[in-house]
Each structure stands twice: as C-alpha cells, then as structure tokens.
C-alpha cells in the first residue's frame, strides 16, 4: 500500500493470532534447514535493498533451534527485525503459542524507527533503527527458504486491526491498496478523518502452497 500523495507513513499498528504452522515440509540436510516467515513491513520503496525494510518477523522452522528459537515445532517465533543494505538486524526470537494474540507497532520519531511486539499484552521484543528515508510503502509477504528441502503449505491466516497514520492527509491513499490473492474484510481501507488515518478490520491471507510454486 502506498505511496501517499504527500508526506510519509509515521505509524502502523496491526495484530495477528498466531496461525497454524506450515505442513508437509521436507528436509534432506539438517545443515541447510527450511524456514518460513510471514511479515508486514514499512519502507521508502518497494523492494529496493538500498532502503531499510522495517519488518517484525513471524518465523517457523522444523528445527526451531537452527533459527535461534526455543519454540516447539507447533509454535511460531517472533522478533523485531529490520532488513538493511548490510543485512538483517534483529532481536532474539521469542516463542509464540498457537492462537496467542500478537500486537505490532512501528512508529517514526526524530528520524528513528521504533518497533514493538507484544504477546498477550506484554512487550516481548523491541528495536530502534535509523530512518533511512521517509517511509511511503506498507507491504507484506509469505516468505519461504527451501534450504535442502521444501516448505510445504502455510495455512490461511489473517492480519487484523491494521491502522496506518500519515504525516499529511491523503483522501485517496486507500486507492493504493493492491492485493495478490488476499482479501480485506470488509473490503478496503477506510478513513474517518479526511485521509490522515486509515484502517482495515482484517486482511485475509489464503493457504499458500509453497511446493506448487517451486
């Protein structure tokens, strides 16, 4: 979603109930482990590696310890994280039980980007990074690293209570929404203040069959 006509995104909040973990993964070499991440991120551009992507991560692997997480095989791990031109900068993963409510907040203040992750209302991960350039895009992905095997399929899930705050009102910002396979419920983002704040109750992500893609 983006860019706004003027200004930048100054805040984004959203939630998720930890979904079911991927099914049908295969691994042939434990030294090259499979992993799956789901995330929403903010950046100055769409996919330009020279600009940081501020993206708290939900991550899962058949061998969670290989990713530095103590979670069980039926749980996800979560951490504040930023992808920079120098690589991933992230906090330690924290286990998240199935269906646990997780709340995310990304804010911009004094040329810094602050991430906060809460599970059951308790802050479990946070990170502050320099703002590389004004944030103008919000986007998300299901990400699969096949390693020495296959990622199987990721059950359907939903991001809920998404709110985006702009530094300058843009009454047409909602029209920048582009969905590939996903749906919003109810349809689209709405604003009640002339375009400074935008909200969607839920973005529903369908089952993702990584094996079919490869």
pLDDT over threshold 70, residue 214? no
* pLDDT at residue number 213: 66
DSSP 175: G
Question: Is residue 1 in some structural domain?
Answer: no
Question: What CATH number corresponds to the domain at position 61?
Answer: 2.60.120
| Side-chain-facing half-sphere of 62: CA atoms under 13 Å | 22
Question: Is residue 2 in some structural domain?
Answer: no
Cα 91–chain centre separation: 15
Q: Which domain holds residue 156?
A: 9-213
**Cβ pair 54, 68 in contact under 8 A:** no
Give per-residue pLDDT as tens, 77-116. Answer: 999 999 999 999 999 999 999 999 999 999 999 999 999 9
Number of other residues whose CB lies within 10 A of the CB of residue 211: 14
User: Is there a cis peptide before residue 186, judged by omega within 30 degrees of 0?
Assistant: yes
- Distance CA(182)–CA(194), nearest Å, equals 26
* Structural domain count, the chain: 1
5 Cβ contact list (under 8 Å, min separation 6)? 168, 170, 172, 173
Question: Is residue 178 in some structural domain?
Answer: yes
Q: Mean pLDDT score of the chain, rounded to an integer?
A: 96
Per the listing, tokens 């992507």 go with 53
Give per-residue pLDDT as tens, 118-162. Answer: 999 999 999 999 999 999 999 999 999 999 999 999 999 999 999
171 Cβ contact list (under 8 Å, min separation 6)? 191, 194, 195
Question: Is residue 136 in some structural domain?
Answer: yes
Largest CA distance in the chain: 54
Higher pLDDT, 147 or 44: 44
Using alpha carbons only, how large is the chain's radius of gyration in Å? 17
Give per-residue pLDDT as tens, 167-194. Answer: 999 999 999 999 999 999 999 999 999 9
């Amino acid at each position: 979603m983006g860019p706004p006509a003027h200004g930048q995104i100054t805040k984004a909040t959203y939630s998720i109930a930890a979904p079911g973990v991927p099914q049908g993964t295969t691994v042939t070499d434990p030294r090259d482990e499979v992993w799956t991440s789901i995330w929403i991120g903010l950046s100055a551009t769409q996919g330009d590696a020279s600009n940081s992507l501020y993206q708290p991560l939900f991550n899962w692997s058949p061998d969670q310890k290989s990713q530095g997480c103590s979670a069980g095989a039926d749980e996800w791990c979560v951490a504040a994280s930023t992808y920079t031109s120098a690589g991933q900068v992230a906090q330690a993963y924290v286990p998240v039980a199935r269906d646990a409510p997780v709340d995310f907040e990304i804010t911009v203040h004094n040329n810094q980007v602050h991430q906060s992750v809460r599970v059951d209302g308790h802050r479990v991960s946070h990170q502050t990074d320099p703002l590389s350039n004004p944030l103008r895009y919000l986007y998300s992905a299901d990400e699969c690293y096949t390693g020495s095997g296959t990622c199987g399929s990721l059950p359907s899930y939903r991001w809920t209570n998404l709110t985006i705050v702009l530094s300058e009102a843009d009454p047409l910002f909602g029209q920048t929404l582009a969905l590939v396979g996903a749906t919003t419920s109810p349809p689209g983002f709405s604003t009640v203040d002339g375009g400074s704040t935008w909200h969607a109750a839920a973005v529903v992500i369908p089952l993702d069959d990584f094996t079919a893609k490869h």
